[in-house]
Chains A and B, each alone.
Chain A
Amino acid sequence: MNYHLNIVKGLFRPQISLYQLQKAEAIKGVIPKLIFLYVICLVTFATSTYFGIGTETYSGNITNYTLEKYESGKLLLLGGKLISGILFPTLFIWFASIFFWIFLEISYIKVVIVQTFGFAFLLLGQILTIPVLVLLDLNLVSNPFSFGVLSQYAFEHEYWNSFFGSITLFHLVALMLQYYYFASLSEKNRYVALTLLILFYLITWLLTGLMAFIKIPVLF
């Protein structure tokens, strides 16, 4: 039986997708769908940079640059953001899959498909977050879908706020979705999949927390 990658079905009809994946002998349509996902990711990242999300450390240049220079400099920010728009899905889907493939003993391509589902859901979350941040005048640490708000009341330290700010409801849903797939596809104990996923997301949160915390101009 052939399995055609369908991301929407994968997110909202997991039972059917799982059944099809389990029965699949040949898997088709992965590359075009992933290219499409990369494009959506780039557009999302570009949009969030357009609205200035994550450009706080650049803003101060408004006083000493001319309008043209200030706006042109944002093109460099956009350039960097687009690079991360390629890196982020690549690391999430292709690179992380290696570890799940090794430890869960599921075929690599099937792991890639499950990671794609997870990534697509997170991207959906990001798209929904952009207007919320812009309209409510917030940044990612204070994202109302994240634990950053509560954390700011509990902790003084900025890094922990950044860390909790990078844990969103979308991550929890994506984690559960991926767990649902991995636990059924793998012959290993369910807890191996759960532990691996928690570890994977913990690293993700630590890293994205660091990214929200770090101020690049300090390094220069």
Chain B
Amino acid sequence: MKRWVSIVVAVIVIGFIGTNVYLIFKEDSKVQHTVHVEKWNRVQERDIVETFETDGILVPKEKQDVYLPLENIEFQQFLVEEGDEVAVGTPLFLYTSPEIDSLKETLESDITQVEGEIEGVEDYIDSLEDYQRSIPTTTSEIEVDSILEDGLKIDVHASSEMIESTIEQEIYKQELEKRKLEEQKTKYENQLDNINEKENSASMVSNIDGVVVDVNKNLGNPIITIASNELAIEGEFSEQQLKKAETGMKLTATASGEKRKLEGTLDKINPYPVDEPALDQKNAYKFVASILEQPETSSIGTKTTVSVVTAEVSDVPAVRDGVIHGKKTSYVYKLNKNGQITKNTIEKGLSFDGYTEIVEGAEIGEVAMLTPGKTPQTNTSFVTEMKPKQITKVALKDFTSREVWKYILIGLVER
């Protein structure tokens, strides 16, 4: 008799709890939930920098080969030897030639041409800078300089930030071009200065600062090779890195022994692999990067770790990766000021090193759920676990006495 009763009671109890659990979890359940949030993350203003790393080595920025200036010359003597340091304008060798006069003329016309080119580049830079200033911060109407825009290949729908960065890159490139042209001009001028008309002789001069690394005693071309003092970084990219890298990208390099990080720009990427392509090998592609501020102590051959910045955004709203859910469309579960969770679709931006930029859908200061990962119903209440380590006396003193009573009363009464 007794046994019979307890079996019935047990069945009723289990049936009751089972029904409740079913009603709680069935689809479109009417039962209110409270999500117990373990971890959450506040949308913060951050810089997100996407990088990849590779090895590099410090090399002379350029090796300049010096050629005999004319065909019909009489070589007199070398003025430098291998290992000598030379500066711009240091005479390298002496020669005489009956064609000196025509060389002079050629040089003069070369100088005029280069000057013209420099002027053209300067004008272009000026107009780029004007354009840059004309870009408003808000997306109001932009006065479009169609010629410039075609040249820059700017999309009509591009954001002003994108346009700005494209222009900046273009200005950088043009300034580089201008420097090259100016160097060329100095070279021609130096050569001109070193022509001695009376003796029909001339000396060939160096147009970079550096060290003579090769002197060809057989008088074949190139007759002298000079390695520049200015350093650059050379290294190799893997196939995947090659896909991400583009010339003009910023990079940083840490050289052993050098305290500060070297900053530079990717100048050249050789898309043809270092070794002949073969099926059973991984290809490597050479790159050269210039260094903005020359290192003080590091010498040629110093190994560096290079990190190439492939994309960069600064001062954008960002969250930890775990906050963003969904595959096709991305969304976050926001914790609102009325104590409810809402599901909001967002637009993801750049993502690197555990953080993702939120382009649209959430603002700085808002809070979103990190865990639990399971999908909560939207518009449910949430509570959070205590984090005793975060409790501070200062923060506690920040409460007004009204708030103190309110919260003690919540603890006392609400359940």
- The count of chain B contact residues (Cβ–Cβ below 8 Å) is 59
How far is B414's CA from A134's CA once the two chains are assembled, in angstroms?
17
Closest beta carbon of chain B to A136's beta carbon, Å = 7
Closest beta carbon of chain A to B160's beta carbon, Å = 31
Docked-complex contact A149 and B414, CB < 8 angstroms:
no
How far is B407's CA from A81's CA once the two chains are assembled, in angstroms?
10
Say yes or no for B248: interface residue by CB 8 A criterion.
no
Say yes or no for A39: interface residue by CB 8 A criterion.
no
Q: Which of A102-110, A183-191, A207-215 contacts B (4 or more CB under 8 A)?
A: A207-215
Docked-complex contact A149 and B24, CB < 8 angstroms:
yes
Knowing A55-B383, A62-B384, A63-B366, the reply to whether A72 touches B411 (Cβ < 8 A) is no
How far is B365's CA from A79's CA once the two chains are assembled, in angstroms?
29
Docked-complex contact A150 and B23, CB < 8 angstroms:
yes
How far is B117's CA from A69's CA once the two chains are assembled, in angstroms?
64
Q: Which of B26-34, B132-140, B225-233, B317-325 contacts A (4 or more CB under 8 A)?
A: B26-34
Closest beta carbon of chain A to B104's beta carbon, Å = 76
Docked-complex contact A49 and B386, CB < 8 angstroms:
yes
Knowing A137-B33, A142-B31, A214-B413, the reply to whether A59 touches B24 (Cβ < 8 A) is no
How far is B415's CA from A215's CA once the two chains are assembled, in angstroms?
10
How far is B412's CA from A182's CA once the two chains are assembled, in angstroms?
31
For window 59-87 of chain A, which residues contact chain B by CB distance below 8 Å? 59-64, 66-84, 87
How far is B365's CA from A54's CA once the two chains are assembled, in angstroms?
25
Docked-complex contact A72 and B391, CB < 8 angstroms:
yes
How far is B206's CA from A9's CA once the two chains are assembled, in angstroms?
104
Knowing A56-B34, A56-B383, A141-B32, the reply to whether A81 touches B335 (Cβ < 8 A) is no
How far is B409's CA from A81's CA once the two chains are assembled, in angstroms?
9
Docked-complex contact A59 and B384, CB < 8 angstroms:
yes
Closest beta carbon of chain B to A69's beta carbon, Å = 4
Give the chain A neighbours of B36 by CB distance below 8 A. 51-52, 133-134, 137
Docked-complex contact B386 and A57, CB < 8 angstroms:
no
Docked-complex contact A214 and B414, CB < 8 angstroms:
yes
**Which of A71, A77, A81: most chain B CB closer than 10 A?**
A71
Task: Identify which of A51, A62, A139, A145 contacts B17 (C-beta below 8 A).
Answer: A145
Say yes or no for B331: interface residue by CB 8 A criterion.
no
Knowing A59-B384, A139-B34, the reply to whether A169 touches B20 (Cβ < 8 A) is no
Say yes or no for A1: interface residue by CB 8 A criterion.
no
How far is B13's CA from A146's CA once the two chains are assembled, in angstroms?
11
Task: Identify which of A80, A149, A217 contacts B411 (C-beta below 8 A).
Answer: A80
Give the chain A neighbours of B35 by CB distance below 8 A. 137
How far is B407's CA from A161's CA once the two chains are assembled, in angstroms?
24
How far is B409's CA from A191's CA once the two chains are assembled, in angstroms?
38
For window 8-66 of chain B, which residues contact chain A by CB distance below 8 Å? 13, 16-17, 19-21, 23-24, 30-37, 40, 42
For window 401-415 of chain B, which residues contact chain A by CB distance below 8 Å? 402-404, 406-415
How far is B335's CA from A67's CA once the two chains are assembled, in angstroms?
14
Docked-complex contact A136 and B411, CB < 8 angstroms:
no
Docked-complex contact A77 and B382, CB < 8 angstroms:
no
Give the chain A neighbours of B390 by CB distance below 8 A. 67-68, 70-72
Docked-complex contact A73 and B399, CB < 8 angstroms:
yes
Closest beta carbon of chain A to B404's beta carbon, Å = 6
Which A residues contact B (CB, under 8 angstroms)?
49-64, 66-84, 87, 133-134, 136-142, 144-146, 149-150, 152-153, 169, 208, 211-212, 214-217, 219-220
Which B residues contact A (CB, under 8 angstroms)?
13, 16-17, 19-21, 23-24, 30-37, 40, 42, 335-340, 365-367, 372, 376, 380-388, 390-392, 394-396, 398-399, 402-404, 406-415
9 inter-chain pairs at a CB distance below 8 angstroms, sorted by A residue, are: A52-B384, A53-B383, A57-B410, A72-B395, A72-B396, A76-B411, A137-B372, A139-B34, A212-B414
